[in-house]
Structure 1
Amino acid sequence: MSTVTHLNPPTLHANPAFTQAVKVEGPGTLLLIGGQNGVDATGAVVGDDAGAQAAQALRNVELAVEAAGGTFADVVKTTILITDRSAIGPGFGAFQRIWGGRPNPPAVTVQIVAGLANPAFLVEVEAVAAL
């Protein structure tokens, strides 16, 4: 089991939506989850808005972590790629619903990109989990 320490030093901006840095030490497994889009198990795009796609992409991250024997609470880093700046709010809203009231959210990076692999994709989420 790894020791996970969430670092929010007072010298950096404090934001309850994400952790500035996450340190993983000791024996354990690091799970790297490739970019997940808002698609269901058949590969069909779920919803035509960023909120619905972000919720599905995050659910896909959760399913990948569970397949490795963990839970969404084991996620220590996410990178969220979005195609439209106005999707930041719906994307974070989806994350906050899935994360719930747990303390110590993961470190988060949000990038606005010109496009994703499929023009119907509005959001992509990759993650790292410490199991």
Structure 2
Amino acid sequence: MAIQYFNPDGLNKNPVFTNVVSVLGYTKTIYIGGQDPIDASGNIVGKGDIKRQTKQVLANLETAVKAAGGIPENIVKWNIYLVQGQSLLLGFEAFQEFWGRRPNPPAVTTAIVSGLANPDFLIEMDAIAVMESNQP
């Protein structure tokens, strides 16, 4: 399996995301449904605090990908749904703290939305991860 990360000339190069990720070979694809800022007990984390909520969502995504046998580095695509009026910059700061110095951040799409399933949710994220499969 080969995963290639591209930030081609003519597109903005941002250290927070990769513009294009290509996967070739026998792979296992993991689709992670929308994760909200709730803990394992169902409590909302960081009411009114986009950075804390983003950290919780990222922790939930990490738990989800690990449950399927992957690691955060296997995530190739994230979709971010951010409630209108929230700071995208603070959310990206939380992502950079989470991702650290790992190379090849995933491709990212962000949509500004009027609301989410719970009015206390400020952010939701879903993801796609790809990893080598042991199956032919």
TM-score by length of 2: 0.91
| Match of residue 43 from structure 2 | 44
Stretches of structure 1 that go unaligned for 5 or more consecutive residues are none
Residue 15 of structure 1, CA deviation: 1.2
User: What do the CA deviations read for 1:77-129 (whole angstroms, capped 9, x no partner)?
Assistant: 10111113432011111111111111111001111100000111110011111
| Amino acid in structure 1 at the alignment position of 2:45 | V
| Match of residue 82 from structure 1 | 82
RMSD: 1.0
Deviation larger for 46-55 or 9-18: 9-18
Stretches of structure 2 that go unaligned for 5 or more consecutive residues are 132-136
C-alpha change, 1:56 and 1:78, in structure 2 (3 Å) is same
Identity of aligned residues (%): 47
| Match of residue 27 from structure 2 | 28
- Residues 84, 115 of structure 2: 8 Å contact kept: no
TM-score by length of 1: 0.95
2:100 & 2:83 partners in 1: Cα distance?
Answer: 25
1:67 & 1:36 partners in 2: Cα distance?
Answer: 14
User: What do the CA deviations read for 1:4-59 (whole angstroms, capped 9, x no partner)?
Assistant: 11111112221111101111111011101010010000111001111111110011
Q: Is the partner of 1:126 in helix, strand or coil?
A: strand
| Match of residue 126 from structure 2 | 126
Q: Is the partner of 2:80 in helix, strand or coil?
A: strand
1:86 & 1:37 partners in 2: Cα distance?
Answer: 15
Map of 1:1-131 to 2, 5 A cutoff? 2-48=1-47, 49-131=49-131
Q: Number of aligned residue pairs: give it.
A: 130
1:27 & 1:111 partners in 2: Cα distance?
Answer: 31
2:102 & 2:91 partners in 1: Cα distance?
Answer: 18
